[in-house]
Amino acid sequence: MGIFKADFEKQSGEYGAYYTLNWKWRERNETEYAQLRYIATFLEQQPIMNDSNLPKTMIKLDRKNPKAIKEAKETLLAITAAK
């Protein structure tokens, strides 16, 4: 597993200056592999990640059943209609 790095390269042509996207590939180093293993171990625990600063128009849907998602959608529609 490697990493793609994107660089913008300025070009000049008949119609003036423009940029092209130049992709470079490199292998990961051991520190980066260790970080991936750490992240994988964390995600294997299936953590519930919570953002307590979500605005009212963003409703958390993690691990919700279809009925709860429908109710969340109705709540969101009511919030936006009230504005």
> Residues 69-78: contacts with CB within 8 Å, 24+ apart?
none
For residue 37 the two structure tokens come to 């293993």
Q: Would you state the pLDDT for residue 76? A: 83
User: Cβ(33)–Cβ(41) under 8 Å?
Assistant: no
- Residue 26 bridge partners (DSSP): 3
Predicted TM-score (pTM) of the model is 0.46
Domain segments of the chain: what residues? Answer: 1-47, 49-83
pLDDT at 83 > cutoff 90: no
pLDDT at 48 > cutoff 90: no
